[in-house]
Structure 1
Amino acid sequence: MFYDKNKIGESIKIQRIARGWTQNQLSERSGIGLRSIQRIENGEVNARSYTLTKLQEELDIRFDETHALVINQEPDFTIQSIFSNRTQKILMSYSTGFIIAIVSGIFLVRSATFPETNFELFALVCSLISVYSAILLYIWRKSK
């Protein structure tokens, strides 16, 4: 099996350090000799498949075809969506404002007697702004 031993070694070292483990702790946890781990991390050897598999399992990582590190995680469907979270929030903000404008416009056009005074129209506009602001606050404060 051919792979870039320097990339693999560096990735293993980075993940080990990120977990706060020493090489000795990784050796004990994985059952791989300390000297083997040192040589793999330094890019001195091409590790056997079994050794790499044990280290990947212990560090909960894997490598793709380009030998780039892929950290194993539970799938996060919010991240994998078509749009980013920010894009979704922007679209929801605009569509909510558009819907409020259309519904209030229809109400005003269909109502024969409303608004009778400028104050009633002002109160309606203030109410719509308050409702829209509350909706925007909910959309943008919602957890990421």
Structure 2
Amino acid sequence: MKKLFMKTGQIIKGLRLMKGITQEELAAKTDIKVRTIQGIENGDVDPHAYILQSFAVAIEVEFAVLANSEHELDTVDIEANSKWLPLLHLSGLFL
């Protein structure tokens, strides 16, 4: 099984997208500027602990998930999520 290492910004972006939250919505929930969120997700900004705590509360994950600088994930899990995520986004059109 292949392993994939992801930076904190990539994890935040992935979790945000899985929750269906836009950067603007995350900014509104956390009182953090959209430009800062963009910088964190792009890897240009290293977030402080209080920002990670705000993200954890808004995205409904444990702080420890975001506090580690790198995360090791199974590529099988990522591939499974990548098949369903677009379908979930499109499902709203059919309601």
TM-score when scaled to structure 2?
A: 0.59
1:54 equivalent to 2:54? Answer yes
SS of residue paired to 1:45: coil
In terms of Rg, which structure is larger? 1
Partner of 1:77: none
Q: Distance in 2 between matches of 1:38 and 1:8?
A: 13
C-alpha root-mean-square deviation of aligned residues, in Å? 2.0
> Structure 1 residue 67: deviation in Å?
3.5
Sequence identity of aligned pairs in percent?
A: 31
Cα 1:45/1:29, change in 2 over 3 Å: same
Q: Which structure has more helix as a fraction of its residues?
A: 2
Structure 1 residue runs without a partner (length 5+): 1-5, 70-144
Q: Distance in 1 between matches of 2:40 and 2:69?
A: 18
Aligned length: 64
Partner of 2:23: 23
Whichever residue aligns with residue 46 of structure 1, its letter is D
TM-score when scaled to structure 1?
A: 0.40
Whichever residue aligns with residue 22 of structure 2, its letter is T
Q: Distance in 2 between matches of 1:29 and 1:23?
A: 10
Q: Which structure has more strand as a fraction of its residues?
A: 2
Whichever residue aligns with residue 59 of structure 1, its letter is I
For each residue in 1:22-81, what CA deviation from the matched residue of structure 2 results, as whole angstroms up to 9, or x when unmatched? 100110011111111000000101111111111111112232656428xxxxxxxxxxxx
Partner of 2:71: 68
Structure 2 residue runs without a partner (length 5+): 1-5, 73-95
Q: Distance in 2 between matches of 1:47 and 1:41?
A: 10
Higher-RCO chain (CA-CA 8 Å, sequence separation at least 6): 2
